Amino acid sequence: MNLFPCSFVLEMILVKVTKVGASIVRTSMDMGMIFLVVSALLVTVTADVYIVTIEGDPIISYKGGENGYEATAVESDEKIDTSSELVTSYARHLERKHDMILGMLFEEGSYKKLYSYKHLINGFAVHVSPEQAETLRRTPGVKSVNKDWKVRRLTTHTPEFLGLPTDVWPTGGGFERAGEDIVIGFVDSGIYPHHPSFASHHRLPYGPLHHYKGKCEEDPHTKKSFCNRKIVGAQHFAEAAKAAGAFNPNIDYASPMDGDGHGSHTAAIAAGNNGIPLRMHGYEFGRASGMAPRARIAVYKALYRLFGGFVADVVAAIDQAVHDGVDILSLSVGPNSPPTTTKTTFLNPFDAILLGAVKAGVFVAQAAGNGGPFPKTLVSYSPWITTVAAAIDDRRYKNHLTLGNGKMLAGMGLSPSTRPHRLYTLVSANDVLLDSSASKYNPSDCQRPEVFNKKLVEGKILLCGYSFNFVVGTASIKKVVATVKHLGAAGFVLVVENVSPGTKFDPVPSAVPGILITDVSKSMDLIDYYNVSTTRDWTGRVKSFKAEGSIGDGLAPVYHKSAPQVALFSARGPNTKDFSFQDADLLKPDILAPGYLIWAAWCPNGTDEPNYVGEGFALISGTSMAAPHIAGIAALVKQKYPQWSPAAIKSALMTTSTVIDRAGRLLQAQQYSDTEAVTLVKATPFDYGSGHVNPHAALDPGLVFDAGYEDYLGFLCTTPGIDSHEIRNYTNTPCNYDMKHPSNFNAASIAISHLVGTQTITRRVTNVAEVEETYTITARMQPSTAIEVNPPAMTLRPGASRIFSVTLTVRSVSGVYSFGEVKLKGSRGHKVRIPVVALGHRH
């Protein structure tokens, strides 16, 4: 029988129906759309493909119970005989149910069922109108109705996930105005200015920028400027790198040109143009957009492909950016190791110079770091910086390999399927070598087509080993694809036989059918099947290849409600005040934003990811991807409230964030289990800070927790262990101790790392709404700590500020932090929430 993977729906056609009269003309389009045009009426009815799942088990998990149909599910190490009468009769039964539901609900000719899914899921794909889809949703027995994933815009798909096109951009005049006149500075690896994500032609003309004074370097070869009307500044900083003998102008480019890929990617996430077709290998994965697609880009290149960067160059770049007048700084960079000049995290060179940037009114978003899921792995520490953790959004990519014995092995691979309804012979790389190549190379990673016997590989699926070379970057899936193409193979399977804890596997786009089997037990199933099916002579040479298989369609994303989640690699708190890792009285990270498998622009000569060399887009992960999401969203807030301080913008983002996922549950975080497997646990503020960003709510926060330069100095001066002379050295300002304790810093969070007995702290809120509003204040905490707030309610006129207090008392000393929150609920609908963390001590 036909085995349709869940992701097979991506290959469905879309049909747009336009009623304008009596005759019908059918025209086929290369994007798989069919337009039915009927002449005379002026009414337009749009139909889409929907994926519908219904109650009842599919074949693979049906254990019996329906009258007249015996169980089809078998134990995991047994095959399903898909041609058996048991399976075929149950399959017919399911399909009849699908047809019956549609026939009962809709008139014949008003819908078109495209597929029935019976093996992996129980459901169907149907082409109907939105009204018909809503009817299906309300039908008893229907579990879910989801619009076809192919037409969903990815972006990064994250603009849709964050609600920007529907809830945010329209409030500021649409995407054509989103981020207008805001300049975002990127201290990164440069930019590829020829990418369509950064083009300014065919766009609404940009007006003059009076507040930005950055300069534009010329390409040393073409003598053309790196700037256009969208890229308004482009400079590179490499003097420290040159002095260290690390800079090679032929590789690193003595210009703002991106030789790595990372800088183009981060710039596009924050401020790339809207609606850029994201095409790779002949397939369109969606349309890319930055968070603030109208914002301008200023490039300050200080990172390089081979050696990273030097602090001196990065500091120079930040300094220049602030000087030039950027509004926002996006930093996907942090120190590799503690500085030798200070023991204080808040006064390391990055944070110290960024204090000056914030003093100048620049909002700074910095990646939290990729050292998770272990505690105290942050590389961004200070209250004047917005520290961004990385989330997994709702889009996942999955694929599967079907073996000739009926077993289906899950894996990943952004690839097309092998030809439907057909099995292909499987050949192991080690069994199809040219005799002369056996001793020269280790061929199992399939990087060199010349070592294989093309006659034995052509038209077959090549089995390759996922060696350590792939982890370190000396082997790539891109080269496997090139090998398969050269040999004329039908596809490839990369088999993971050994895996180290923490090894990260990401789906990689492929022009040919391919899959990566990451589960070692599934890999063993494949190897066992291959060995049993392959006959050999006494020397071990293969006499006949009898193992068969087919590769599913991995191009379609699957959308999960269990999102967002904190990514495994995202650095965790608690925050530290010194490089002896003593806990700080300040919560970090500050906020969570998408950072896993993010599509965005790439430069063709970028080498940061070997699988994307020569490509125009890349799908990569990291808190480096999360920070520009916040930079772009901050630009939208800055556009609406141009006079707001960086602290006010940060507060708006934090207090309106969410700790609930799309399924209505508390956020979860990826973590290692006792067996070092990746699992999900309840997330805490040390994972996500205040929560996952909610751009729509951030544009109308009601209240903000504002702070300025004097507040930051007060935080430094009251932090135990910091030398006041050191503070004066960095700030040129004597200490002011009026704050009394660093926990009194007016952050949109509360952290007390050493709570003894009872401690009362204060917060000051300012009404930024246009009307008077009364707020009721409530608080809750885990049982080991008591919490009280005062006053219980307060009324604020527009622009007015009020102070409230929070009192924490140790009930029991557990040795672990207790978590809670303070909520301020406004009479006009505003909701403000700040997280609270405290560690109780006896003395």
What are 495-538's pLDDT values in tens digits? 988 776 656 788 888 889 999 998 888 999 999 999 999 999 99
Q: Give Cα 157 to chain centroid, integer Å.
A: 9
The pLDDT, as a whole number, for residue 282 is: 78
Active site residue 262: yes
Instruction: Out of 119, 127, 236, 262, pick the active-site residue.
Output: 262
Three-state helix/strand/coil letters over 45-94 = EECEEEEEEECCCCHHHCCCCCCCCCCCCCCCCCCCCCCCHHHHHHHHHH
**Which percentage of the chain shows pLDDT scores above 90?**
48
From the candidates 289, 570, 621, 624, which is the catalytic residue? 624
Q: What is the mean pLDDT of residues 830-839?
A: 97
Distance linking the first and last C-alpha atoms of the chain? 71
- The pLDDT tens digits for 454-474 are 999 999 999 999 887 887 778
Measuring CA to CA, which residue among 655, 638, 572 is closest to residue 832? 655
Confidence tier at 17 by pLDDT (50, 70, 90): very low
Residues 454 and 459: their CA atoms lie apart, in Å, by 10
Reply yes or no on whether the pLDDT at 75 is more than 70: no
Cα separation, 547 vs 16, whole angstroms? 43
Question: What is the average pLDDT score of the chain?
Answer: 83
- Are 808 and 818 contacting, i.e. CB atoms less than 8 angstroms apart? no
Q: Phi, psi (5° rounding) for residue 628?
A: -65, -25
């080269």: which residue's tokens?
479
> In the structure encoding, which two tokens stand for residue 458, read together?
């052509």
Q: Which residues contact 323 (CB under 8 A, 6 or more apart)?
A: 213
At 825, is the pLDDT very low, low, confident or very high (cuts 50, 70, 90)? very high
Helix%, strand%, coil% for the chain, nearest 5: 25, 30, 45
Catalytic residue among 57, 188, 445, 590: 188
CA-CA-CA-CA torsion for 192, 194, 198, 201, nearest 10 degrees? 160
The pLDDT value recorded for residue 76 is 37
**Nearest-angstrom CA–CA distance, 550 and 420:** 8
The residue type of 719 is: T
Is residue 330 annotated as a catalytic residue, yes or no? Answer: no
Question: DSSP for 118-139?
Answer: -SSSSEEEEEE-HHHHHHHHTS
In this prediction, residue 613 has a pLDDT band, given cuts at 50, 70 and 90, of confident
Phi, psi of 710 (to 5 degrees): -65, -35
Taking the C-alpha atoms of residue 331 and residue 391, their distance in angstroms, rounded to an integer, is 17
Is residue 650 over pLDDT 90?
A: yes
The residue that leads in pLDDT, 588 or 606, is 588
> What span, in angstroms and rounded, lies between the C-alpha atoms of 42 and 835?
54
Can you give the pLDDT at residue 819? 97
What are the φ/ψ torsions at residue 523 (nearest 5 degrees)?
-60, -40
DSSP string, 331-352: E----SS--SS-SBGGGSHHHH
Sequence-ordered list of residues with C-beta below 8 angstroms from that of 695, at least 6 positions apart, any chain: 162, 163, 164, 167, 168, 291, 633, 636
pLDDT at residue 231 above 80? yes
Is the pLDDT score of 827 beyond 80? yes
Place of tokens 């808040």: 346
pLDDT of residue 14: 27
pLDDT, residue 441, reads 56
Whole-angstrom Cα distance, residue 166 to residue 168?
6
* 3-class DSSP assignment, residue 156: coil
Please determine, for residue 541, whether its predicted confidence score (pLDDT) is greater than 80: yes
Alpha carbons 504 and 588: distance in angstroms, whole number: 24
- Rounded Cα–Cα distance for residues 663 and 588 (Å): 26
Alpha carbon distance 418, 401 (integer Å)? 10
CA dist 528 and 767 (Å) reads 67
Percent pLDDT > 70 in the chain is 86
* Higher pLDDT, residue 73 or 375: 375
Query: Confidence band (pLDDT; 50, 70, 90) for 25?
Result: very low
Q: How far apart are CA 539 and CA 536, in angstroms?
A: 8
For residue range 114-155, list pLDDT tens digits in order. Answer: 767 676 568 887 888 989 989 999 999 887 786 643 212 123
How would residue 342 be classed by pLDDT, with cut points 50, 70 and 90?
low
Sequence-distant (≥ 6) Cβ neighbours of residue 649 within 8 angstroms: 363, 634, 637, 638, 641
φ, ψ at 227 (rounded to 5°): -100, 155
Q: SS in 3 state form for 659-722?
A: CECCCCCECEEEEECCCCCEEEEECCHHHHCCCECCHHHHCCCCEECCCCHHHHHHHHHHCCCC
- Binned at pLDDT 50, 70 and 90, residue 20 comes out as very low
Please report where in the chains the tokens 């008893």 appear, as a residue: 140
* 330 contacts 185 by C-beta, under 8 angstroms: yes
**In the predicted structure, residue 79 carries a pLDDT above the cut 60:** no
Tell me, yes or no, if 188 is annotated catalytic: yes
Spatial CB neighbours of 496, under 8 Å, sequence gap ≥ 6: 466, 505, 516, 517, 518, 519, 520, 523
Highest mean pLDDT: which of 241-250, 393-402, 498-507, 580-589? 580-589
Could you tell me how many helices (H) and strands (E) the chain has, helices first? 18, 42
Which residues are CB-neighbours of 115 under 8 A, at least 6 positions away? 4, 8, 9, 12, 124, 125
pLDDT value, residue 607: 66
Q: Mean pLDDT lowest for which of 298-307, 324-333, 492-501?
A: 492-501
Nearest to 93 by CA among 112, 113, 111, 70: 70
Whether the pLDDT of residue 168 is over 90: the answer is no
pLDDT in tens, 730-768: 777 788 888 999 999 999 999 999 999 999 999 999 999
Q: What is the pLDDT of residue 19?
A: 29
CA distance 152 to 154: 6
Give SS3 for 151.
helix
pTM of the full predicted structure? 0.77
Instruction: Give Cα 231 to chain centroid, integer Å.
Output: 25
Left if phi > 0, otherwise alpha if psi is -120 to 50, otherwise beta: which for 361? left
* Beta-carbon contacts of residue 482 (< 8 Å; ≥ 6 apart): 449
Can you give the pLDDT at residue 437? 53
| Buried residues in 42-65 as b, exposed as e (16+ CB within 10 A) | eeeeebbbbbbbbebbbbbebeee
Tokens, residue 342:
């200070």
- Rounded to whole angstroms, how far apart are CA atoms 429 and 425? 13
Give the closest residue to 710 by CA, choosing from 355, 348, 385, 346. Answer: 355
Which helix (H) or strand (E) segment is 198 a member of? none
The answer to whether the bond into 349 is cis (omega within 30° of 0) is no
Q: How many CA atoms lie within 13 A of 197 on its CB side?
A: 32
And the tokens for 303? 């990172």
Q: Pick the residue with more confidence: 671 or 60?
A: 671
Question: Quick check: helix, strand or coil at residue 622?
Answer: coil
Residue 480: name the closest of 514, 451, 530 by CA.
514
Tokens coding 456: 């034995």
